[in-house]
Structure formats: C-alpha cells, structure tokens
Amino acid sequence: MPDTESVTRRPPGPDEPVALGIDPETLATLTGLRDRYGDMVSMTKPGGREAWFVNDPAEVRRILVRRHAKYHKGPGFERVKMLLGNGLIVSDGDVWRRSRTMIQPAFKVQNVHRLMSVMVDCTAHREREWRRAAEAGEPINITSQTSDFALELILRCIFGSDYETELAADGDNPFDFLSKDSTRDLGVVMKVRELRQRLLALIAARRARDEDTFDFLSMYLQATDKQGTPFSDDELLDELMTLIVAGFETSANTLNWVWYLLAGHADVERRMIEEARACLPDDGVPTPEHTTAMTWTQQVLEETLRLYPPVWLYTRRSIADDELEDYDVEPGTDIYLSPYILHRTERHWPDPGRFDPERFAADGTARKERPYFPFSLGPRRCLGEYFSFLEMKIHLGRLLPAFHLRRVSAEDPGLELGINLRSARDIFLQPELRQA
C-alpha cells in the first residue's frame, strides 16, 4: 500500500504574513480576521511562526482551564518580565505552581475581610479631596483619583504601618510614578529596580522585628512551599512588585471607567445610590454581609469589566500537541485570546456596545453561559479578584451617595491599548454634593 502522509488541520486564515503586537493595530487586525474568517483563525507571523486567534468561548475555556498545562505565556510578556521579574503573572511551570501555592492562602476571603478597614480609610481620603473640589466648583481628574486611591490602598494592605513610617515618611509615596506614568517603558523599569533595594531594607527590618502584624507582607514572609522553604529575597521582591502593580491597575482602571459610565447613565447611578444607602452602614466598617448584598453594584462592575477588561489581550504559546475544535495545534504555536473582542462579539452579547448591567442579573444569559473572562480563567485566574470587587464596592458605596460626578466634556476618552486597557485621555468630572 502507498504511504499516506498525515495532514495537519488548520483553521482558515490569510495566506500573507500578519504582524501582531499589543497595540491598536493588533486590535483592528484581529477584529478584521474574526469578521472575515470566523472565531478560529490561523496565520503566519513575519519570521514564520504559526499563530492562531481564538474567539470561540468553548475553545478559550479549553485553553485556559482544561488544557492549561499545554500552554505557557506567549509573546508580549517580555516587557512585563522586565518590570516585575519572574513573579506570578510572568512565571510558568514549577516556578509558577510553587508561587501560586504559597501565595494563595493570603487571598482567602477571611484574610481579605480583615483589610476592609483599610478600604474604608482610603475611600475617606478621596471623600475629603472630592468635598473640597465640589465646594470650590473645581473638576477632578477621575483617572488620577482612582489610580491614587487604588495605589494607596494596595500599598497599605501590603506594608501596613510601614507604609507611613518607612515608605512615605517624608510625605511622598515612592511608588507614585506608577500611577502617574502609564507607559511602562525602560524609565519606569529603572525606577522599579531602584525601589527594590529600599524594599529589601524594609523586609530585613520586618524580619528583625519579628512582631505580630497583619498585612500581605507578613503573609508572604510566612509562606512556605511543600518542603517548608520560604521565598528567597529575590522571589519575594518579584511577588511584591507583581502584587503592587497588578493590585492597583485593575481596580484603578475599572473604577475610572465606572465613574465615566455612571456620569452618562442616571438610571444606573440612581439604583446604585439606593442600594448603597440600603446596604451599607452610615459609618464604620461594613461587614462582608453588607457588601455581598450589593448585587446591583456587582452587576455594574461586571458589565464595566465586559466593556473594558483590564487585560484586553492574552497570549499563550503551545508547548505540546493539542487539538482545538477540529484543528491540530503544534508545539510553538502562538495563541491570541482577546476578552475585549469576545465581550463585544454580537452573537454572544446582543448590542454589545451598550452599557447594560441587566446582562448580569442572577437569571441572565451571562450567568449561564459566561463567554466572559476579564480576570482570565482556570488556574491562572486572578487571585485578587475578590479583593478587587470588595474595594470597588466600598469605594462606590461610600462615595456615590455623597457625590454626583458630572462629565465636563462630551469627548470620548478613547482607548490606550497597551499591556493594560486604559482610557487614552484622562477623564475629568465635576463633583457635586448630594443632598443628605
């Protein structure tokens, strides 16, 4: 019998090479490929590497959940690694599994609940600033305000009292540049590296004191792997920098978009105010039961994350043979997954550009099918997801009943499509005091 050669099955796609990055051109390219070829597209990148764009919800879930061990981080993470080292976001394989196992206990809900008082204090700081602006009739830069809020919060949750006595003792936050400069270029990388020595001194002092404190740093210092080995100094620094950057950017960017959307949707805003007044105590620290009852606010946040996922493009690189749908994935194939595109695909989300929190009602389609992954899926799903929702609920629940924020410009802020999805321009809103 004649020899038969096996044929590698490929999704449809263009014949000419396709350049892909993490930029606006890539969003336009991937959207065009989806429109032309469907939800599974194969292509060749300049240089000859095979690449696929996967926009099918079942196959996205298969890659991120069921077959995650067959994929490592893909192209684009080189810049992240320069900034964060080999922390949880960047690492793969045994290094990642060890770090994930050691860090996960810090994010148990009971530990996160112990940090709710810090969330209240940081929100109160914003309230004082907004009140001064409202009384003076001055607009606020909500992009800057939400960044400052989220950065202060994560630093206080990591370092506890050391934040004021060691890091910001002279009145300046040494990490301010992270919220002021979104470029994540080499200049930012160098500033981060300079801070590592300062953090090493803080860590050494914390170890020497051996006192009973509760914050993320203390939990990371106490963490050990299965052999009882703690993080080395370099590992600890990588994980702390990962927590600082990832811990503030997601909440800051989401709150930036939430306030912008609420300023244009009075009906949604009204329901959030009513819920906040009904669910949260007038003063003091709310309980987890209070925030759990804020179901409408949860829907608003989830719909905002649908429209503006913090990471708009994920990449993976296959390290083993796999099969997706009726196609064969060979080792070394780059896989591109875009929450932004999937969340705005009309077949899954009717009228996808419309802001409609009702999509996430308890009995809604989104709850049942979930073609939705703003925090990724599977073992690499963001550990800080619950922390982020909790801080955003407290922030909104405290500030919305006190302030109406009105748009001062009809101009769309646009999108900055880097590693994170941000508004291209800072958003300015005019705070107005509500009647008690």
Q: What is the dihedral of CA 241, 226, 92, 343, to 10 degrees?
A: -80
69-105 residue pLDDT tens: 999 999 988 778 888 889 999 999 999 999 999 999 9
137 is written with which tokens? 């009739």
Mean local confidence (pLDDT), 299-325: 96
Rounded to an integer, the average pLDDT of 178-204 is: 81
pLDDT one-digit tens code per residue, 391-421? 999 999 999 999 999 999 999 999 999 889 9
pLDDT band at 364 (very low <50, low <70, confident <90, very high): low
Asked if the structure places residue 69 within a domain, the reply is no
Residue 288 pLDDT: 97
Query: 15-32 pLDDT, tens per residue?
Result: 999 999 999 999 999 999
In this structure, what is the dihedral angle of CA atoms 48, 56, 299, 398, given to the nearest 10 degrees? -10
The model carries a pTM of: 0.94
In a domain, 38, yes or no: no
Query: Using 50, 70 and 90 to split pLDDT, how confident is the model at 1?
Result: very low
Q: Which of 27-41, 254-268, 303-317, 359-373 has the lowest mean pLDDT?
A: 359-373
State how many domains the chain has: 1
Is position 318 within any domain?
no
State residue 362's pLDDT score: 83
Look at residue 240 and tell me if it is in a domain. Answer: yes
Supply the pLDDT for residue 236: 95
Residue 34 in domain: no
Q: How confident is the model at residue 5 (pLDDT cuts 50, 70, 90)?
A: low
The pLDDT assigned to 367 comes to 53
pLDDT band of residue 112 (cuts 50, 70, 90) is very high
Determine the Cα–Cα distance for residues 52 and 92; give it in Å rounded to an integer: 21
Query: Residue ranges of the alpha helices (H) in 160-262?
Result: 162, 176-180, 186-209, 216-222, 233-262
Buried b (16+ CB within 10 A) or exposed e, 77-88: beebbbbbbbbb
d(CA 224, CA 216): 14
Lowest average pLDDT, out of 7-11, 171-175, 370-374, goes to 171-175
The pLDDT of residue 2 is above 50: no
Give the model's pLDDT for residue 189: 76
Range of the domain at 131: 78-309+347-429
Using a pLDDT cut of 90, give the percent of the chain over it: 80
Query: Phi-psi region for residue 420, left (φ > 0), alpha (ψ -120 to 50) or beta?
Result: beta
At residue 266, the pLDDT reads: 97
| 366 domain residue, yes or no | yes
For residue 134, what are the contacts with CB-CB under 8 A and spacing of at least 6?
Answer: 403, 431, 432, 433
Helix (H, G, I), strand (E, B) or coil at 250: helix
Q: Does 66 have pLDDT greater than 50?
A: yes
Given this model, what pLDDT does residue 166 score?
A: 84
Confidence of residue 365 (pLDDT cuts 50, 70, 90): low
| Domain of residue 367, CATH code | 1.10.630.10
- The pair of structure tokens assigned to 141 is 């830069």
| Residue 339 maps to a domain | no
Answer yes or no: is 4 within a domain.
Answer: no
Q: Are strands 50-54 and 334-337 parallel, antiparallel or unpaired?
A: parallel
